[in-house]
Amino acid sequence: MREAIVEGIGFWGSGLPDWDAACAWARAGQRPAQAPARPAPALLAANERRRAPATVAVALEAALAACEAAGREPTALPSVFASTHGEMSITDYMCATLASDPRAVSPTRFHNSVHNAAAGYWTIGTGAHAPATAISAGHGSFAQGLIEAMAQLAAGSEAVLLVAYDGPACGPLAEMAPSEGLLGVALVLSRVPCPGLPVLRMELAQHAGMDRGDAAGPLSRLLAGNAMQPALPLLEALALERGQVLLPAGADQWLRIDIGHG
């Protein structure tokens, strides 16, 4: 059983452009009449905000919001970036260009094609020399990101930033790797007890005999098409002060999280 304190939450989902909006939707079914199609993260220079891949933008937006909510300097935090598929518009671009005119591949798109693009832009934008990692674990990507974040706390980090995100599928790849809309969630997790903050206690479990808990909640229903939707039950539980969630962590593997609400 590992334990962590949730010091800050960041959120950006299509139609719910921050954590307050996500909470209002989860608790009262209210959402903004209009929301931007993608975030414009303050960490990127003005000319990069529209050019940056959408998944980079949503990851940076959620990450900065979580750090601000936690009152933590981003430069001091090691970070874990989890994404199921990475930026599929770039995968689609690379594969389409290679099929038609391989010598025309754009160098910028190529270096943005790495799975750690969001992690790279985060460390560059914040000036963080702390370690950053980027992982993928299919449907279990969020849970495995949480496990790595917990393991970093156990290894001596006082606090760690977890960022999980996916974006829309694109082109012929979409049939193989379906995903809709933009979703970025970020948690600043720490080992420092603080009254009033949620505490996560988690352990790996087999599916057999486990109660999967409630049916899809309001966030899960609204953003069900996004590949990072397995993260949403935890966010719902935090918004609605529920006590337990079960997240898919891999083949016949679940991460059971008990949540203490300050």
Partner 1 sequence: MTEASPPRLPPLNLLAYSATTALGAGLDAQRQALAQGRSGLRRNDFGSDPLDCWIGRVEGVEDVALPPALAGFACRNNALAWLALQQDGLTDALAGVVARHGARRVAVVMGTSTSAIGATEEAYARLSTDAEGMAHFPPELQRPRIHTPHALGDFVQATTGLQGPCVTVATACSSSAKVFAQAARLIHAGFADAALVGGVDTLCGSVLFGFHSLQLVASAPCQPFDARRSGLSLGEAGGYAVLERAGAGPATALQLRGYGESSDAHHMSAPHPQGLGARLAMEQALRSAGLEPAQLGYLNLHGTSTPANDSIEAAAVAALFPPSLHASSTKGWTGHTLGAAGIVESVFALLALSDGLLPGTLNSTVPDPACGPQIRFDNARADIGHAMNNSFGFGGNNCSLVFGKVE
69-98 residues near partner 1, rule: CB under 8 A: 76-78, 83-86, 91, 94-96, 98
C-alpha span between 146 and 152 (Å, rounded): 10
Q: Is 138 in the site for partner 1 (CB under 8 A)?
A: yes
CB of 57 to partner 1, least distance (A): 15
Binding-site size for partner 1 (CB under 8 A) equals: 72
Residue 24 near residue 31 (C-beta atoms within 8 A): yes
Applying CB under 8 A, the span of 29-37, 58-66, 132-140, 215-223 interacting with partner 1 comes to 132-140
Q: How far is CA 250 from CA 88, 136, 143, 191, in A?
A: 22, 11, 8, 26
The candidate with the shortest Cα–Cα distance to 123, out of 60, 33, 181, is: 60
C-alpha span between 34 and 181 (Å, rounded): 15
Applying CB under 8 A, the span of 22-30, 58-66, 181-189, 245-253 interacting with partner 1 comes to 245-253
| Exposed/middle/buried for residue 136 (C-beta within 10 Å: 0-12, 13-18, 19+) | middle
Element (H, E) at 3: strand 2-13
Instruction: Please list every residue from 2 through 41 that binds partner 1, using CB under 8 A.
Output: 2
CB of 221 to partner 1, least distance (A): 23
Binding to partner 1 by CB under 8 A, coded x per residue (else -) over 195-224, reads: ---------x-x------------------
Residue placing its CB nearer to partner 1 in the complex, 111 or 212: 111
Give the residue, chosen from 71, 156, 193, 196, that forms a contact with partner 1 under the rule CB under 8 A.
Answer: 156
Residue with tokens 């770039």: 90
Give the residue, chosen from 89, 157, 226, 229, that forms a contact with partner 1 under the rule CB under 8 A.
Answer: 157
Instruction: Please list every residue from 170 through 199 that binds partner 1, using CB under 8 A.
Output: 171-173, 175-177
Instruction: Please list every residue from 98 through 127 that binds partner 1, using CB under 8 A.
Output: 98-99, 102-103, 105-107, 110-117, 119-121, 123-124, 126-127
Q: How far is CA 260 from CA 7, 97, 108, 199, 232, in A?
A: 13, 50, 45, 5, 18
C-alpha span between 210 and 200 (Å, rounded): 18
